[in-house]
A = this chain, B = another copy of it.
Amino acid sequence: MSVSTDMLFQTLSSRVKVPAGEFAEYAALTEERNYKKNEHVFRHGDVPRFNLFITEGCMRTYYVGEGGTERTTYFAEEGYWTGDLESMRSGKPTQQNLQALEDTTSVTLTRDKWENCYQKFAWIQEIHAIGQQRRAAKLSEHIGRLLTDSPETNYLRLVQERPRLLQRVPQYYIASFLGITPETLSRIRKKLSAS
């Protein structure tokens, strides 16, 4: 096993029971892909060809609205999956953009191989179901919190849940994720560090 697929195996095994022989078969279908800092994996309008598991580095998902406003909605660090599964599987162009924020290494699985593995391995179906259910729940909660709690509370929650993320990602992406301006975020940070 390479260092990358080893991390994939650890992450999968922490959630479902993965037969080692089947994992080897699965891992043999994956490909490592590397991205430079700021490089895009796909942009709005593309149909993503593969799904990614990050083994080193960090990526952000963002939307571009009317007039070019950008909003970051998701950060994937080591041990996270990212991409746009719905668009990849359906073949409908994605509305998202996926960009590396650091030099990033990922283990990827192209669409046909993804579908074959999904049909073949029960543990993939299981981890997919668990993962998507959790993701839907997290997103629903995120919308609720973003729109009802104060920016300060939302910032403190992020500090607690993803301390490492805040150390590595530029503050304007954090502000964007929290739905506030960089100035507001800067004010919150100053206030908190003074108290």
Could you tell me which A residues sit within 8 Å of B by CB distance? 61-66, 69-71, 73-74, 84-87, 89, 95-96, 125, 128-129, 132-137, 139-150, 153, 179
What DSSP secondary structure best describes chain A's contact surface?
helix
A86 x B134 contact (CB < 8 A): yes
B69 x A144 contact (CB < 8 A): no
B85 x A148 contact (CB < 8 A): no
Cβ of A116 to closest chain B Cβ, rounded Å:
16
Q: State in angstroms the CA–CA spacing of A65 and B142 once bound together.
A: 12
Cβ of A174 to closest chain B Cβ, rounded Å:
14
B133 x A66 contact (CB < 8 A): no
Which one of B64, B135, B145, B153 lies within 8 Å of A63 (CB-CB)?
Answer: B145
Cβ of A56 to closest chain B Cβ, rounded Å:
24
A64 x B136 contact (CB < 8 A): no
B144 x A95 contact (CB < 8 A): yes
A144 x B73 contact (CB < 8 A): yes
A85-B133, A128-B129, A135-B136 known; A141 vs B95 contact (CB < 8 Å): yes
Cβ of A98 to closest chain B Cβ, rounded Å:
12
Q: State in angstroms the CA–CA spacing of A150 and B65 once bound together.
A: 8
Count chain B CB atoms within 10 A of each CB in A87, A125, A144, A179 and give the residue with the most.
A144
B65 x A148 contact (CB < 8 A): yes
Which one of B64, B136, B148, B179 lies within 8 Å of A71 (CB-CB)?
Answer: B148
9 A-B residue pairings within 8 Å (CB atoms): A63-B141, A65-B150, A66-B149, A71-B147, A85-B137, A96-B141, A96-B144, A132-B136, A139-B139
Which one of B64, B70, B140 lies within 8 Å of A73 (CB-CB)?
Answer: B140
